[in-house]
């Protein structure tokens, strides 16, 4: 009885090189983690104290009595709202461009692709004025709306819908399915890996966005984590302490780690293009 094909293994030199590279990339993260468990008084004397006991959770306890929890809530609301909006709009747009025939379809899709070539900084002034005229600054809607206009999501979902065989459309239509039923019950479930990938990318982009929240959110109760941590570092680095700032950085990275752990399989499947098989 055949034991089956054996898994290919990396040569020893390549394995050593990959391990060294991983350790180099992890070094700043480990350093941040060590600093977050040290008291601010110890770090004020010497940052090398990070390697010496004792360690403390006081920096993490202090987070829950600060504005960081408010900034975390703001980031969650904005990131989740943006992600949900992008998945809904891009799925509908991708289905329309890939499966429907309507006037100027190709022309509109070219405009979508042109959006990939326009940097955000090129439209920041008219966007700021437009949002100011509508009174949307310092609001969750104002923070989320720019993220809903990403051209990449429309392009990504369009290509994914195009990869699904059209035989499924014909079979569903012969069974009396409407266009919405075809989209909702037949095609959309096949795009779950792609939606997971797009959702993760969108969530990360919204979570890490600094440029637009810095412009739109001018009051501390509407700061996202990126803006809030930057303001804390600029204004309170000496009074709050290095350990407290590092604890905030670790605390802010936890949701991102959770997202990667939950959706890693879907991301691999989507990038491998297995959903349409």
What is the predicted pLDDT for the residue at 33?
86
What is the predicted pLDDT for the residue at 273?
53
Residue with tokens 């009885």: 1
**Residue whose C-alpha is closest to residue 241's, from 70, 83, 35:** 35
What is the predicted pLDDT for the residue at 117?
86
What is the predicted pLDDT for the residue at 255?
83
Show the DSSP H helices in the chain as ranges. Answer: 12-36, 40-45, 58-63, 68-99, 105-114, 124-134, 140-144, 151-163, 167-174, 179-181, 192-208, 211-216, 225-240, 242-272
CA distance 245 to 250: 9
First to last CA, the chain: 30
Kindly state the tokens that stand for 44: 């004020």
Cis peptide before 54 (omega within 30 of 0): yes
How many Cα atoms occupy the beta-carbon half-sphere of 233 within 13 Å? 11
CA distance 68 to 62: 10
CA distance 243 to 54: 13
What is the predicted pLDDT for the residue at 188?
92
CA distance 26 to 181: 47
CA distance 133 to 199: 30
CA distance 55 to 49: 10
The three-state secondary structure class of 102 is coil
Residue with tokens 């899709």: 109
208 within 8 A of 259, measured Cβ to Cβ: no
At a CB cut-off of 8 Å and minimum separation 6, what does 161 contact?
94, 95, 97, 98, 99, 187, 191
161 within 8 A of 187, measured Cβ to Cβ: yes
What is the predicted pLDDT for the residue at 276?
43
Predicted confidence pLDDT, tens digits, the chain (277 residues): 444 444 567 688 888 888 899 889 888 888 888 888 888 777 777 767 777 778 888 888 888 877 888 998 999 999 999 999 999 999 999 999 999 989 999 999 999 888 888 888 888 899 999 999 999 999 999 999 999 988 899 999 999 999 999 898 888 888 888 888 999 999 999 998 888 889 888 998 899 899 899 999 988 889 998 898 887 766 544 555 778 888 888 888 888 888 778 877 766 665 565 444 4
251 within 8 A of 63, measured Cβ to Cβ: yes
């Amino acid at each position: 009885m055949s034991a089956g094909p054996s898994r290919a293994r990396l040569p020893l030199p390549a394995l050593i090189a990959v391990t060294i590279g991983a350790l180099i990339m992890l070094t700043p993260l480990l350093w941040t983690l060590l600093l977050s468990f040290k008291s601010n008084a110890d770090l004020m004397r010497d940052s090398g104290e990070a390697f010496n006991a004792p360690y403390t959770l006081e920096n993490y306890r202090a987070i829950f009595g600060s504005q960081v929890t408010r900034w975390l809530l703001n980031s969650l609301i904005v990131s989740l709202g943006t992600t949900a909006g992008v998945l809904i709009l891009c799925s509908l747009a991708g289905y329309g461009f890939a499966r429907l025939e309507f006037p100027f379809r190709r022309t509109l899709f070219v405009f979508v692709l042109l959006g990939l070539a326009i940097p955000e900084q090129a439209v920041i002034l008219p966007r700021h004025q437009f949002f100011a005229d509508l009174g949307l600054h310092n609001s969750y809607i104002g923070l989320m709306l720019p993220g809903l206009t990403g051209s990449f999501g429309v392009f990504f979902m369009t290509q994914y819908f195009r990869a699904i065989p059209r035989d499924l459309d014909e079979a569903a239509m012969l069974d009396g399915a409407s266009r919405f039923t075809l989209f909702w019950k037949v095609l959309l479930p096949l795009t779950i890996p792609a939606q997971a990938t797009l959702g993760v990318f969108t969530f990360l982009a919204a979570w890490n966005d600094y440029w637009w929240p810095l412009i739109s959110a001018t009051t501390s109760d509407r700061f996202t984590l990126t803006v809030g941590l930057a303001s804390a570092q600029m204004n309170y680095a000496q009074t709050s302490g290095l350990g407290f700032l590092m604890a905030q950085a670790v605390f802010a990275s936890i949701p991102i780690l959770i997202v990667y752990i939950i959706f890693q399989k879907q991301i691999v499947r989507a990038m491998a293009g297995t959903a349409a098989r």
